[in-house]
Amino acid sequence: MNNRMRCICPPWVLALAAVAWSVTAGITRAQDSPSHVLIVPPSATLSWDQLKENEARAPAMPEGALSVHPPRQTPGPIALDDRAWRSENLLPEERGTPPSLRRTLLTAAPPVATASFEALPDNNTRIPPDTHGSAGPLHLMTMLNTQVRIQDKSGTSISTTSLFSFWAVLTGNPFDPRVHYDATSGRWIAACVANAQTDSSEVYFAISAGSDPTGAWTFYRIDADPTFGGPWADFPTIGFSNQFIAITANMFQVSGTFAGAKMWVLDKAGALAGGAVTVTTFAAGFDATLGGGISGATLYPCVSYGSTTTLYIVDNTNYYQTSDTTFLLRLSRLTGAGTSPTWAPLPGSSFGANGLVRASNNFNSTQIAAPQGGSIIPIATNDKRIMNAVYRNGRIWCTHSAGLPAKIAPAPNRTAAFWYEINPAAMPSPIVQSGVFDGGAGVHHTFPSVAVNSANDVLVGFTRVDGSRFAEAVFAGRRGTDPAGSMTSIGVLKAGMGSYTKFFSGSQNRWGDYSNTSVDPVDDVTLWTIQEYAAEPVGSDSNSGRWGTWWGKIDPAVGLPVVLAEFTAERGEDATVVLRWVTLSESNTLGFEIERAVDESVFGTVPGSFTPGRGTALGTHHYQYTDRMPPRGRLRYRLRQQDLDGEVYYSDAVTLEPLLVRDGALPLAFALAQNYPNPFNPRTTIRYTLPERTRVVLIVMDLLGQEVATLVDEVQGAGEWSVTFDGGEVASGAYVYRLMAGTFLQSRRMMLLR
């Protein structure tokens, strides 16, 4: 038994552990070298029902709320002296001319989310959630730092367990989980690491017996480092081909020093058989030893489709060219037999035998925390490591975020999401196309993930947040026939519902640390993404924030009938509610109806609310409807949009809190309404209400936080107020208006279009 493992566990877990250790004691080990072989028997095979029964007898979730440590930082940036190679070996674009920033060309409206529903809510036990999940033939499986949930594809929850209960047979403290469905083998594959910042660190792996995740699972454990006092594993990634299943991790000494990237390559045939698996271990720092001295981190193996046996790996190195500070990616691969893999950088690089490739869109290696609406506390955006990688139809697709402006300096003022299509057979210039989701100064796009279907249609999901909006789940896509470098405009999968602040035991306002996007294996066309958004806060202390995770189903063949710019609700005169919405384009639209829900009731149509649409029309159109007899209570409204052919789509809901009765008069509360009209040119009206006499400051700012205008700065009495902003002297674009009244603070965003 490994006497370095110390874990307080319920008795049934210890009983299972005794069985597990009696088997795993037979693991064959060799001393660390660039690579060595382990024979790892399964620790246990349990059905989902057994997992749930064990959890019911003795829940495995440790007590107390916890901030999972932030992903440990690796050294960098590191200058790569490109003078070490003769200039004739470098392509013209590699000879000291930095690439210009090619923002993603937004060519059309975003694709349709034909289904959209909650994955897992925040149970207030762990931050961040480490958002991950995948689509299978009949199920969606979500695996977070908190819980694991299986749903059907309509969003109905079938079963939920804690992450600790799922991995409980292995007895450790798991974190950073990931789960994929392998369409080639018809199996679910999951991995995580356990026991952070200790020398008892382990790597966990599980594989399902079939395509149904509620069936049996076989569990394996691997000691992350067999030496006493050795390094621990952080931020695992997992990918596979027909031959291999590869798990990588960044290794750190308990003191915090980076020890290098490490990789465990499982013989896939053995894993599918459910018995002992041959695991080839590539020791920490193997990539520098075997790859021309280049030491990387977060080496991301591709989730591969089709019959490929080669497993491609991508990492966003810390290296840049000294001549122009352009950053370099690295491509590598696993070849050979499943039981005897060989790792090597992809040959053909202009920089030597190291697989290095210049980024076609340069970036800043530093990322700053993102400002958010309704709070002065920013949200962590982490760093530029590769977020996910897919190999399909002879191409690698991958994503990461990074700071802008590019290069080592100046300091970044935003975070952008980067995406790539790479042809590994086209070295030294393998990047077929790439793009950047760049919202401009002050806007942050982070934690992106990508999937590609059989027709080369692509979906990218990520988080968007800035000083005028809550953190929201968004997505964009492209069809395989679209122009190179292009994507649709960004669509909102789930709008943020409040500001997010949660520290627990940590020192950062954690978000992420990643997301996932996958292909539906039934038709190999439909795409699914699971993303994080800011849910409604609970309370007002430093841990009041709540994250949420949300599934979106996107069918690339379905066009969006309406591009909805905004939908707002605000209190009107005589206790009415005024609803306004703006469309940027419409296609085949019959009209709109307002649906309303009171407190926790279901939505129902507001009688007489039908409003005719514009059929098929481009350009901005403004709509308004007044609900003249709204009931008391917490009101939620949404739009029901109907096509001429009978198809129906729904907007996200907007919420109005109940009014508080005061002295028998019309009740009032602090509130800042959405400006109207919006977008506007050049004037718009801003309304707000005050429940008491207080000093009021209302200002307009650009997205960098620079004040553009002060609209109000005086003491005002209780009541409803309005003020007009004239944007005739400022440039077109997005602006933030902020109301400060006593201790009340709220911001909203508006758009000036000329």
Cross-strand partners of 720: 689
Q: Which tens digits make up the pLDDT trace of 175-234?
A: 999 999 999 999 999 999 999 999 899 999 999 999 999 999 999 999 999 887 889 999
In a domain, 3, yes or no: no
- Kindly state the average pLDDT of the residues 352-356: 95
- Kindly state the average pLDDT of the residues 329-336: 97
Q: Which tens digits make up the pLDDT trace of 101-154?
A: 455 555 556 777 889 999 999 999 999 999 999 999 999 999 999 999 999 999
E strands along 505-600, which residues?
Answer: 516-519, 527-535, 546-554, 562-571, 577-598
- Closest among 415, 388, 418, 387 to 403, alpha carbons compared: 415
**Structure confidence at residue 85 as a pLDDT band (50, 70, 90):** very low
Instruction: Out of 625, 658, 691, pick the residue that ends a domain.
Output: 658
Specify whether 256 is located in the same domain as 274. yes
DSSP string, 680-748: BSSEEEEEEEESS-EEEEEEEE-TTS-EEEEEEEEEE-SEEEEEEEE-TTS-SEEEEEEEEETTEEEEE
Q: What SS3 class is residue 636?
A: strand
In a domain, 518, yes or no: yes
Cross-strand partners of 334: 311, 343
In a domain, 138, yes or no: yes
pLDDT at residue number 753: 82
Cross-strand partners of 556: none
**Structure confidence at residue 66 as a pLDDT band (50, 70, 90):** low
C-alpha to C-alpha distances, 190 to 38, 178, 272, 300, 685, nearest whole angstrom: 20, 6, 13, 15, 52
Q: Which two tokens stand for residue 1?
A: 């038994």
Q: Which tens digits make up the pLDDT trace of 366-386?
A: 999 999 998 999 999 999 999
| Chain center to CA of 520 | 18
In a domain, 55, yes or no: no
Specify whether 382 is located in the same domain as 325. yes
DSSP string, 226-246: -STT--EEEEEEEEE-SSEEE
| Interatomic CA distance for residues 61 and 56, integer angstroms | 11
59-73, 119-133, 372-386, 494-508: segment of lowest average pLDDT: 59-73
Q: Which tens digits make up the pLDDT trace of 273-299?
A: 999 999 999 999 999 999 889 999 999
- Total domains, the chain: 3
| Interatomic CA distance for residues 362 and 438, integer angstroms | 12
Specify whether 456 is located in the same domain as 377. yes
- Kindly state the average pLDDT of the residues 639-660: 79
pLDDT at residue number 64: 59
Q: Residue 673: give its domain's CATH number.
A: 2.60.40.1930
Sheet holding 216-223, edge to edge: 44-47, 216-223, 202-208, 187-194, 174-182
Specify whether 461 is located in the same domain as 506. yes
Per the structure, the complete domain to which residue 650 belongs is given by 561-658
Residue pointed to by tokens 């042809």:
423
Q: Which tens digits make up the pLDDT trace of 590-603?
A: 999 999 988 777 88
Q: Residue 595: give its domain's CATH number.
A: 2.60.40.10
Specify whether 605 is located in the same domain as 736. no
Do residues 318 and 258 lie in contact, with contact meaning Cβ atoms separated by under 8 Å?
Answer: no
In a domain, 28, yes or no: no
Q: Residue 363: give its domain's CATH number.
A: 2.120.10
Please indicate whether residue 79 or residue 681 has the higher confidence score (pLDDT).
681
pLDDT at residue number 156: 95
**Structure confidence at residue 447 as a pLDDT band (50, 70, 90):** very high
Q: Does the pLDDT value for residue 95 go beyond 50? A: no
Specify whether 210 is located in the same domain as 333. yes
pLDDT at residue number 10: 33
| Mean pLDDT across the chain | 86
Specify whether 703 is located in the same domain as 612. no
| Interatomic CA distance for residues 210 and 90, integer angstroms | 49
Q: Which tens digits make up the pLDDT trace of 650-706?
A: 887 888 877 644 444 544 678 888 888 888 889 998 988 888 888 999 999 987 778
- Kindly state the average pLDDT of the residues 411-422: 95
Q: Does the pLDDT value for residue 69 go beyond 70? A: no
pLDDT at residue number 678: 83
Please indicate whether residue 563 or residue 104 has the higher confidence score (pLDDT).
563
Instruction: Out of 498, 526, 554, pick the residue that ends a domain.
Output: 554
Share of the chain above pLDDT 70, in %: 86
Specify whether 612 is located in the same domain as 696. no
Specify whether 619 is located in the same domain as 531. no
Cross-strand partners of 379: 370
Which of 135-149, 405-419, 636-650: highest mean pLDDT?
Answer: 135-149
Q: Which two tokens stand for residue 419?
A: 């995406």
Instruction: Out of 554, 589, 604, pick the residue that ends a domain.
Output: 554
Specify whether 174 is located in the same domain as 229. yes
Specify whether 528 is located in the same domain as 590. no
Amino acid type, 577: V
In a domain, 56, yes or no: no
In a domain, 14, yes or no: no
pLDDT at residue number 559: 55
**Structure confidence at residue 84 as a pLDDT band (50, 70, 90):** very low
Cβ contacts of residue 272 below 8 Å, gap of 6+?
185, 187, 207
**Exposure of 1 by Cβ count < 10 A (0-12 exposed, 13-18 middle, 19+ buried)?**
exposed
Specify whether 504 is located in the same domain as 610. no
In a domain, 51, yes or no: no
pLDDT at residue number 557: 67
**Structure confidence at residue 302 as a pLDDT band (50, 70, 90):** very high
